[in-house]
Amino acid sequence: MNYPDKVRIVEVGPRDGLQNEKSIISTDTKIKFINILSKSGLQNIEAGAFVSPKWVPQMADSAEVFNNIEKNPNISYPMLVPNQQGMEKALESGVQEIAIFAAASESFSQKNINCTIKESLDRFLPVIESAKDNNIKVRGYLSCVLGCPYEGDIAVETVSNTAKTLFDMGCYEISLGDTIGVGTPLKTERMLESVMLHINKENLAVHFHDTYGQALANILIALQKGIAVIDSSIGGLGGCPYAKGASGNVATEDVLYMLSGMGIKTGIDSASLKQASDFIFKYLDKESNSKYRLALNG
């Protein structure tokens, strides 16, 4: 079996991780959290979201967070952007990478961003144009690729066609999201095979929530398919407010443990990650989901 030599981890803890948290996390804590993460060797840290503060109050201070983090020039700090209004904020803050987000499920699209899939793609066109004009990289998320909280199974053709559309619109990478963590390995394999008919593995990432403990098994399948970009969240934080039942993302510490055990390089220092995890969990009303972190603690 061939595996990639090197994997790039996209840390989504400060955005996906915190967006669903009930505890009030101060702007200063978010800034310190990202600054600690920046010292771990991560190359991509999703720092926040320019979405409506009424929809996702926890992300309301994203501009302040972004403007005050110590930016390492070797790290990309993408911000989620749902529409032109979000794009204007990205431009004001001098963001160098944005992530747009669409869904493979109509019902989830309505619940999450209040429009149909087609309307969302139409909305993203001027956002992408404006990003191009300003030399801003655009990453594309596709949610519900292995199931939807409202519709259940989603046809693989819908997933692969929507992923292709997003990619053709100008995203440099499509992150395939198992938003509610219902995927299992063979289902993941079928979905990836269908998407890879249209998009090269070099332009794909995987984003697994870990509701049923399937994320690492699914990631192994993605690695076997040659996909070398993995989204994860420190301590397994995460969840989408509009996807009932969605548990946390796969824990970055657990992904790192698996990859280092397989001899796959990430450039990330696990001790610094643990520092970031210990820091943020002091402010949250829960324990880390990472088995690796627990093992380290004895």
Binding test (CB under 6 A) with ligand HMG, winner from 121, 171, 234, 240: 240
**One character per residue 137-156, x = contact with ligand HMG (rule: CB under 6 A):** ----x-x-------------
Partner from Mg ion, ligand HMG, none binding residue 290, C-beta < 5-8 Å depending on class: none
Which partner from the list ligand HMG, Mg ion, none does 225 bind, CB cut-off 5 to 8 Å by kind?
none
Contact flag: residue 16 with ligand HMG (CB under 6 A) = yes
Judged by CB under 6 A, the residue of 44, 83, 93, 288 near ligand HMG is 83
- Nearest Cα to Cα of residue 287 among 234, 217, 249, 235: 235
Q: Which residues contact 89 (CB under 8 A, 6 or more apart)?
A: 50, 62, 63, 81
Residue with structure tokens 């030399």? Answer: 135
Task: Using only the alpha carbons of the chain, give its radius of gyration.
Answer: 17
The H-or-E segment that residue 127 falls in is: helix 117-133
Q: Which does 276 bind (CB under 5 to 8 A by kind): Mg ion, ligand HMG, none?
A: none
CB 239 → Mg ion: shortest distance, Å? 8
Report the interface residues with Mg ion, using CB under 5 A. 16
Burial of 187-210, coded b for 16+ CB within 10 Å and e otherwise, reads: bbbebbebbbeebeeebbbbbbbb
171 is catalytic: no
Nearest to ligand HMG of 15, 225 (CB atom): 15
Q: What per-residue string of b and e applies to 49-72 under the rule 16 or more CB within 10 Å gives b? A: bbbbeebbebbbbbbebbeebebe
Torsion of CA 119, 54, 179, 98, to 10 degrees: 70
179 binds ligand HMG (CB under 6 A): yes
Q: Choose the contact partner of 66 out of ligand HMG, Mg ion, none; CB within 5 to 8 A by kind.
A: none
- Restricted to residues 257-296, the positions that interact with ligand HMG (CB under 6 A) are none
Q: Which of 42, 49, 166, 192 binds ligand HMG (CB under 6 A)?
A: 49
Q: Does 102 bind ligand HMG (CB under 6 A)?
A: no
Report d(CA 180, CA 161) in Å as an integer: 21
Report the residue number whose CB is nearest to ligand HMG. Answer: 177
Query: What span, in angstroms and rounded, lies between the C-alpha atoms of 270 and 272?
Result: 5
Tell me, what DSSP letter sits at residue 17? I
Kindly state the smallest distance separating residue 298's Cβ from Mg ion, in Å. 31
- Active centre residues (catalytic): 240
Contact residues toward ligand HMG (CB under 6 A) are 16, 19, 49-52, 55-56, 80, 82-83, 85-86, 101, 112-114, 141, 143, 177, 179, 207, 209, 240, 242
